[in-house]
Amino acid sequence: MPAKLSWDDLPGAVRLSVERHADPISVVERVVVGQSSDITCVLHLGDSRRVFLKGVRGRRPAMRWLRNETAAARHVVGIAPEVLFSEDVAVDGDDWLVVGFEHVSGRPADLSPGSPDLDPVAQVVERIAEVRAPDLRPLTMRWPETHWWRDLAVAQPEAVHGLDPARLDALSTELPALVDGDRLVHTDLHGDQFLLCGPSARVIDWGMPGRGAAWVDTAYLIVRLIERGHFPAEAESWARSRGTWSAAAEAALTPWAVYLAGMWTSWVRQGRCTATRAALAQRYMRWRLGT
């Protein structure tokens, strides 16, 4: 991906729009992590406050994700950094969106076995699942596709080796109804999306929030725990200990694993997912299926 822009690279009109909300700026600290924004930086203000700035140029998915993050702010008070300002700027035919967030000092969560971070992660995931979000787009609409495996059998036959694509698609077909619900869902939780601040955790990067069943984010974390070294049975045991879990979640677990593996594997060919992440989901699916 292209290198991130610096503060001085921004058009003057964009800088001025930010300065209307964050002034005076004494120091700009570049931040190179993050994949979707054209600029990420920390603005140090004259009164010692700090603002985390994200900016996206051009009407593209990254701008939609940043706009989603801004819109989700009303649902995640105390869970995510506060949105301080948001402004659209048109410059010489380019559309910009700049958003200033409360700066939160913290570190990513360690999700490995025995990590003390697992407790604050569990607590904040349970807080998220308590939030009702009736105005967000439901996962039942976001995930209507159910024949990932049939398509993979044609386009990527090695991905279905030893598997029955028809059976996998039948399981995938069950999932949209199973994820139905009225709770807030992040849909992209992993260790780097948590900021550990003392004994508590905040959650960042709300670019793809949705409305669904309370167990969905916990199920995502099963895969991420396996990624960090947990055995599948251990990761599932962690999930079952959460207040987000239920009999409905238990019944959905195999369709969930099959759907997620099919979706992520298909997305690799579209450049929307890494092969490593898809392989992780496939590993968990095969464990669930006993293959």
Instruction: Check residue 222 and give its pLDDT.
Output: 98
pLDDT in tens, 94-121: 999 999 999 999 999 999 999 999 999 9
Structural domain total, the chain: 2
pLDDT band at 3 (very low <50, low <70, confident <90, very high): confident
63 band by pLDDT with thresholds 50, 70 and 90:
very high
User: Is omega for the bond preceding 157 within 30 degrees of 0, making it cis?
Assistant: no
End-to-end CA gap in the chain: 37
Q: Is 50 domain-assigned?
A: yes
pTM of the predicted structure, to 2 decimals: 0.92
Residue range 162-216, pLDDT digits in tens: 999 999 999 999 999 999 999 999 999 999 999 998 889 999 999 999 999 999 9
In a domain? residue 107: no
Give the CATH number, domain containing residue 11. 3.30.200.20
CB 215 within 8 A of CB 244: yes
What span, in angstroms and rounded, lies between the C-alpha atoms of 67 and 55?
Answer: 10
Residues 244-261 have a mean pLDDT of 97
Give the residue numbers spanning the domain of 129: 118-289
Q: Same domain for 124 and 244?
A: yes
Same domain, 39 and 180: no
> Mapping DSSP to helix (H, G, I), strand (E, B) and coil, where does residue 164 land?
coil
**Residue 207 located in a structural domain:** yes
